[in-house]
Structure 1
């Protein structure tokens, strides 16, 4: 079988990974990861303390070379959550960046430092093949072999470990090669955490599979983005919080605007990017941000194509190999691509996980006739593009006989000049069933827009039945590590 990382097997001298002043070529990464992989061979399962460091990337690649399933662990996990993940996944050892302290739940495991044998400086000539045994000693495991066990956010109970097979990784990354015209010449810059799908699989494993390069900033700042995009980087991956900060900075930072204008591809994911941020970035740079849609269990499902026409508010069309449908509350497929009919997204294809670890009942409940039930609600535009309107559990509001997606109301609220941040939820109402509640962070706290002003603004842009009936003002919206608004906390 072909290897997961062809450029490592070929010992390419192109740069592969850069974290700060530490750089490895593909050949050097093959040596570093290969050395560690020999130590890991035969292990049942390993945890990686997923700090945003070179050691995390080397450790994950080493385990994948050795065919050992990897459990990336969020360094910001609380004690209870961490204890659950360790007990549930039962790793035999933990891989970490040298010198990084581990919490008690992991300190009890045997520790292996990931970069102890890294001596390369990344100074090889681009494109020149190297020598050495590298990755050749490791046969490629079968496609269904588990590659990663990534734990979900646990919003409705303890986090579940989604078992991602190797074919899911290759299917998603190769489909994105097609959708984004991703090549070995691309240099990606990002600052995402490395314990989840976006930052680790797309942001680290994606460039490695393409034979290209990734620069990780360690932590996000607009100056770092501008520096790297001005120095040859071609792609930027981020989440809406990052792009919002970019949009806020652009007016006073011509160097950032110029750097973004020169990028080949700007990608946002993990949560919807507000339409007003799309417009501000496009107006200042001439570049439109591409959105894609995925989740832990499915990796990537859809994307706006690099050769397509980006439209704010859409996550594009299904990726190659992915089947996607919308279903109504009775489970019947919605055939209309009318931009109005709301249904739950269900998907099937080679990008899907195989099971929730140790949770056969949860695995069975997640599927219907082979389709994975995402819990996300969307509509389809006439051209087949998907527009997500929110989560079934928190963002589908049934008010006055209408089914309303919170996302479209949030986008309209964010276009009001008096609104800095907005979230929309539903809460019980004796007359309407549910009333629409807007949670607003005002642009000027001393003079917030009135409830009537916001209701009229929404009614004028959408429909009267979609206007908020209640407005609540906050200093900030509660968000998780990925910038997603934690709506359950709003009512808590």
Structure 2
């Protein structure tokens, strides 16, 4: 079954866990979770799709697990979704009701989630091909698209990570991530419920909350790990953990190195997206290079292609569009068969839209999005990501985003936007250009550095490069 640790027979045989799920200080045992979620399943079983306002609460976990028990598709909705985004998600998904809390002004009916209700009704395991979730993309290139993920795909993805990370029921997973995307919800909630390890969700991912949780595995995004390194006392508490895992965006090399220095753990970096779940990862028992996201997990194949579809060599330098295939891929974009078809090759590979390099050992480095991060300058194909990594290695740079702008001579000119740390002078542009030229090939240096107070970001914290000009 998808949620292996919630097997009623195992719980009845004495395998209950008193602290199976803790969210922001509220705890459910494994049997309480099963009983309350099954009660939710009874109330929602006749529905086809329901929306869940994915706040980091026990009620959200019960809503999601109840739907998985009953075989009802879940549409997680960001709690801070604006009115236009919310209306689009509800209209596009065809959600019939809210399960649990509903936002103000919604006209959909509401099905309550009662944390103290219990049911021990047995449901047959739903079909593996059934759609478990419709996750909406961040919408950086248009209206958010609904990504359909099946139960089989989720199981395959989780099992590959359980193997890659040596994840067992003896682990305690700690994170404070949002519960409306792959990282926080599928990996961060369903992962522990599949493997049988307790989950501690800290509500907010603060360094002190992480330090006080005393886990063996920690999930974080780069912003979380950056804040952890700024509180050395909290960071040193994480030395007791088994592994620290970073994802959702590239981890800056200085943060990687500082985290390793403070905790003794070189962080695990991994790569994935809503459409693929996690396809690449470094390993606890293997090499961990700053800026690289490792090798394919079990069942995954990858390849690089140029604009003509020709293979790109795996030499650690040549940049190509990353394509993947494997059992954890999505079943398509909801209501968008043409868009789905456009994103797959004729021979069945998914075009991620990311550009990457692969070395001779199969290690992958993601250098950005093909649409905004592949810069063609002076006859060279350059990934913005490696320039950003080089800039972040300079002590004056707090944040950066690199883009290509039209240039009559070069085709595209490399321009770096930087947010400086306190005390850095704005006349630092030439020094930063020289820094990149010394770190990378000279043709990869920015031709211009623009100092800004902040970078435009979406709700997930990702930089919106299309707003830079």
TM-score normalized by structure 1? 0.91
Matching residue of 2:407: 429
SS for the counterpart of 1:47 is: strand
Matching residue of 1:272: 250
SS for the counterpart of 2:66 is: helix
SS for the counterpart of 1:23 is: strand
Matching residue of 1:176: 161
Matching residue of 2:69: 65
Query: Using a 3 Å threshold, how does the CA distance of structure 1 residues 210 and 352 change in structure 2: closer, same or farther?
Result: same
Alignment of 1:140-151 (within 5 A): 140-151=125-136
Alignment of 1:329-344 (within 5 A): 329-334=307-312, 336-344=313-321
Matching residue of 1:483: 461
Instruction: Give yes or no for the alignment of 1:56 onto 2:56.
Output: no
**Contact preservation (8 Å) 2:138, 2:460:** no
Residue-by-residue CA offset, 1:385-410 (whole Å, 9 max, x unaligned)? 11000000011110000000011111
In the alignment of these two chains, the number of paired residues is 463
Matching residue of 1:198: 183
**Contact preservation (8 Å) 2:98, 2:108:** yes
Q: Distance in 1 between matches of 2:427 and 2:328?
A: 45
1:212 Cα deviation from its structure 2 partner:
1.0
Q: Distance in 2 between matches of 1:290 and 1:393?
A: 27
SS for the counterpart of 1:450 is: helix
Instruction: Give yes or no for the alignment of 1:239 onto 2:221.
Output: yes
Matching residue of 1:126: none
Structure 2: gaps (5+ residues): none
Residue-by-residue CA offset, 1:111-136 (whole Å, 9 max, x unaligned)? 122234358xxxxxxxxxxxxx64x6
Q: Distance in 1 between matches of 2:200 and 2:240?
A: 17
Structure 1: gaps (5+ residues): 120-132
**Contact preservation (8 Å) 1:299, 1:352:** yes
Query: Using a 3 Å threshold, how does the CA distance of structure 1 residues 472 and 224 change in structure 2: closer, same or farther?
Result: same
Residue-by-residue CA offset, 1:254-280 (whole Å, 9 max, x unaligned)? xx2331111111011000001111011
Residue-by-residue CA offset, 1:74-129 (whole Å, 9 max, x unaligned)? 111111111011011111111124xxx6132xx2111122234358xxxxxxxxxx
Query: Using a 3 Å threshold, how does the CA distance of structure 1 residues 435 and 207 change in structure 2: closer, same or farther?
Result: same
Q: Distance in 2 between matches of 1:446 and 1:285?
A: 28
Q: Distance in 1 between matches of 2:67 and 2:308?
A: 43
SS for the counterpart of 1:169 is: helix
Matching residue of 1:79: 83
**Contact preservation (8 Å) 1:4, 1:140:** no
Matching residue of 1:356: 333
Instruction: Give yes or no for the alignment of 1:162 onto 2:147.
Output: yes
Q: Distance in 2 between matches of 1:5 and 1:23?
A: 19
Matching residue of 2:376: 398
Matching residue of 2:124: 139
1:418 Cα deviation from its structure 2 partner:
1.3
SS for the counterpart of 2:142 is: coil
Q: Distance in 2 between matches of 1:238 and 1:65?
A: 28
Instruction: Give yes or no for the alignment of 1:315 onto 2:318.
Output: no
1:443 Cα deviation from its structure 2 partner:
1.2
SS for the counterpart of 1:117 is: coil
Q: Distance in 2 between matches of 1:423 and 1:417?
A: 16
**Contact preservation (8 Å) 1:413, 1:457:** yes
**Contact preservation (8 Å) 2:406, 2:413:** yes
Alignment of 1:413-424 (within 5 A): 413-424=391-402
**Contact preservation (8 Å) 2:39, 2:117:** no
Query: Using a 3 Å threshold, how does the CA distance of structure 1 residues 339 and 446 change in structure 2: closer, same or farther?
Result: closer
1:446 Cα deviation from its structure 2 partner:
5.7
TM-score normalized by structure 2? 0.96
Q: Distance in 1 between matches of 2:456 and 2:224?
A: 16
Q: Distance in 1 between matches of 2:294 and 2:117?
A: 41
Matching residue of 1:122: none
**Contact preservation (8 Å) 1:8, 1:29:** no
Matching residue of 2:6: 7
SS for the counterpart of 2:230 is: helix
2:138 to 153, 160, 163: 153
Instruction: Give yes or no for the alignment of 1:33 onto 2:43.
Output: no
Alignment of 1:281-320 (within 5 A): 281-320=259-298
Q: Distance in 2 between matches of 1:4 and 1:190?
A: 19
Query: Using a 3 Å threshold, how does the CA distance of structure 1 residues 118 and 224 change in structure 2: closer, same or farther?
Result: farther
2:324 to 347, 363, 366: 347
